[in-house]
Homo-oligomer: A and B are copies of this chain.
Amino acid sequence: MFIQTLDILGTIAFAISGVLVAMNKRMDAFGVFIIAFVTAVGGGTLRDTLIGATPVFWMRDMTFMSVIAVAAILAMLFRDKLKHLRRSLFLFDTIGIGLYTVIGIEKGLNADLHPVICITLGTISACFGGVIRDILCNEIPVIFHKEVYATACIVGGIVYFVLREFTGDVNLIFLIAGAVVIAIRLLAVVFKISLPSLYKKT
C-alpha cells in the first residue's frame, strides 16, 4: 500500500516532466499526452520487453494509464502554476527513480538473472523513460551528458545485492536500496556534483 502510493507519485512526476518537455516543443494535446505516457512507462516497458514479461505491465494494470491521463490533463491546464511546484516535482521524480530502480531489480531476480543484469534492468526502468522522451523530442538524451541519474541507480543496485548477503528481509532491502538512490540524487543536485569530465577544458 505504502509502496503503491510511492509508485503512483513517481508515475505522476515522470508524466508531468514529460508534459513540460513536450509543451516546450509546442506539441499538440495528443503529442503532449504521448510524451507524458512514454516518459512515465517507457523504462518499464523496455525492461518488460527485454525479459519477455509480456503483455507489458501497464497493459495488465489500468492504474498507470488512468493516473497518467489525469496527471497530463491537469498539468496541461495548470502549467502556469507548475513552477510553484518545482520542488515537490523534483522530489517525486527522485522518489520515482529510486522506486523504479528497485522494482526493476526485483523483476530481474524473479527472472533468475545475474545481479549485474538485474542492476542494469533497474537502471533501464528508472532512466529510459526519459531517454525515449528525449529521442521523441529530437534531443540528445539529457541523461547522457548532464545528470547524476544513472550513477545513483547503479550504486543503489549494488547496495541492494550487498544487503542481500546480510539479511533476508526483502522489504528492508527494498527500502534501504531505494533510499540510497534517492539520497545520492538529492545530494548530487544540492551539492552540484557531476561525473568527472572526460574532456580537457578548452
Contact = CB atoms under 8 A, between A and B. Distances in A.
B59 A23 contact: no
Interface string A136-159: 111111011110001100000000
Interface residues of A, number: 51
A176 B199 CA distance: 43
Interface in A169-199: 194-199
A117 B26 contact: no
Contacts of A144: 22, 25, 27-28, 30-31, 34-35, 136
Interface stretch (A6-14, A44-52, A88-96): A44-52
A198 B138 contact: no
Nearest to A111: B55
Interface of A: 22-23, 25-32, 34-35, 45, 49-52, 54-56, 58-59, 62, 65, 76, 111, 113-114, 116-117, 120, 131, 135-141, 143-146, 150-151, 194-199
